[in-house]
């Protein structure tokens, strides 16, 4: 029987690692058929299967690291770490990839962060909850703090308003706030509300609807276009040609959630730009969803339903 020894640092409470009433330890014992005991500040994991021992050791070490960073894991997050460690052959390599305090939690997110580092324009395509916008915002803040860019520009098409914002009451900020709120939330998480407000007032952070990008050249900026599946061909071309010197552009979207009647500019961009050096396309899937575990199941259920519907339509057309 093999034994793995994990030392718990003095600044981490054992209860945070093993759970209240040892509920995390009991869960790992049942799931992987291992013995878990504590001797002083050391957790000892015994078992016959090396793969199971690897997973349990990596899970416990990751819980310790996250706790040391000041975040107390809830049960859903703990289950997520367990699931990811089962899927990934070398989870440590994924968790090494980080931006500030934000770490890649899946292989897809790791590829995404690496693509941002290596390319000036990155398209991130995938379902909700995969961290497309959140990770892009994290990198943007990191670039701003390190002086790689002078400002952050966030934009998205205001589809619900048809971008006819002149008919809405209030000034520009009041008009577009409802459509850009998800972008606010990510940056407030990174910076805190006071710092975020201060940078917005200084125009270091600019958040505006896509229609307001026309005619501009954005130099030394980190630019994020969110919900890009709802851009038209013309809007996507207009946006991408706003890029100036010293800038980085991230385009995020979900091509299964298109709300416009015209052909999506994001869909067309995949065909036109796929072979250009300096432009990368990263595709995230339900395996990269980092929300409540039910979200992943919901996405898969809808994907299966839509696939079956498509097959039925094709069969009906053949039988006509």
* Residue 121, φ and ψ in degrees, nearest 5: -130, 125
DSSP letters along 15-32, please? Answer: HHHH-GGGHHHHHHHHHH
Residue 99 has pLDDT above 50, yes or no: yes
Separation CA 2–CA 309 (nearest Å) = 50
- Summarised one tens digit per residue, pLDDT across range 198-230 is 998 898 998 887 887 888 888 999 999 999 999
Least Cα distance to 65 among 31, 46, 92, 45 occurs for: 92
Least Cα distance to 155 among 60, 265, 250, 292 occurs for: 250
For the domain 99-299, what is the CATH code? Answer: 3.40.50.300
pTM listed for this prediction: 0.63
124 secondary structure, DSSP code: E
Residue-level pLDDT at 68? 84
The domains of the chain are located at 2-94, 99-299
For the domain 2-94, what is the CATH code? Answer: 3.30.1370.10
Q: Is 127 exposed, middle or buried (0-12, 13-18, 19+ CB in 10 A)?
A: buried
- Summarised one tens digit per residue, pLDDT across range 105-123 is 788 888 899 899 899 999 9
Confidence of residue 184 (pLDDT cuts 50, 70, 90): confident
Residue 102 has pLDDT above 70, yes or no: no
Categorise residue 129: left if φ over 0, alpha if ψ from -120 to 50, beta otherwise.
left
Structure tokens belonging to residue 249:
């552009």
Separation CA 102–CA 124 (nearest Å) = 17
- Summarised one tens digit per residue, pLDDT across range 41-86 is 999 999 998 888 989 998 999 899 888 877 777 787 788 788 777 7
191 secondary structure, DSSP code: H
CB 283 within 8 A of CB 123: no
CB 250 within 8 A of CB 256: no
Separation CA 312–CA 115 (nearest Å) = 38
Mean pLDDT lowest for which of 123-132, 135-144, 202-211, 306-315? 306-315
SS3 297: helix
Separation CA 251–CA 74 (nearest Å) = 31
Residue-level pLDDT at 74? 79
Least Cα distance to 109 among 124, 120, 92, 122 occurs for: 124
């Amino acid at each position: 029987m093999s034994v793995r020894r994990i030392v718990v640092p003095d600044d981490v409470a054992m209860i945070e690692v093993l759970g209240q009433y040892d509920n995390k330890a009991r869960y790992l014992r049942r799931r992987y058929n291992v013995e878990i005991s504590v001797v002083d500040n050391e957790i000892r994991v015994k078992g016959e299967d090396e793969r199971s021992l690897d997973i349990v050791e990596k899970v416990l070490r990751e819980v310790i690291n996250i706790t040391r960073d000041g975040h107390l894991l809830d049960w859903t997050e703990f289950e997520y770490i367990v699931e990811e460690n089962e899927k990934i052959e070398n989870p440590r390599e994924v968790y090494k990839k980080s931006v500030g305090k934000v770490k890649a939690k899946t292989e897809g997110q790791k590829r995404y962060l690496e693509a941002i580092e290596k390319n000036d324009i990155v398209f991130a395509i995938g379902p909700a909850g995969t961290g497309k916008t959140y990770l892009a915002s994290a990198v943007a803040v990191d670039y701003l703090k390190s002086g790689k860019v002078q400002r952050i520009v966030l934009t998205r098409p205001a589809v619900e308003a048809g971008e006819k914002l002149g008919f809405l009451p209030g000034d520009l900020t009041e008009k577009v706030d409802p459509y850009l709120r998800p972008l606010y939330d990510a940056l407030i998480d990174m910076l805190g509300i006071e710092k975020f407000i201060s940078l917005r007032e200084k125009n270091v952070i600019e958040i505006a609807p896509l229609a307001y990008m026309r005619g501009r050249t954005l130099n030394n900026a980190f630019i994020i276009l969110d919900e890009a599946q709802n851009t038209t061909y013309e809007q996507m071309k207009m946006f991408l040609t706003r890029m100036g010197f010293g800038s980085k552009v991230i385009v995020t979207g979900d091509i299964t959630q298109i709300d416009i009647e015209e052909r999506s500019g994001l869909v067309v961009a995949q065909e036109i730009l796929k072979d250009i050096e300096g432009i990368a396309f990263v595709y995230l899937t339900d395996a990269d969803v980092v929300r409540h575990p039910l979200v992943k199941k919901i996405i898969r259920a809808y994907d299966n339903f839509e696939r079956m519907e498509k097959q039925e339509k094709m069969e009906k057309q053949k039988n006509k």
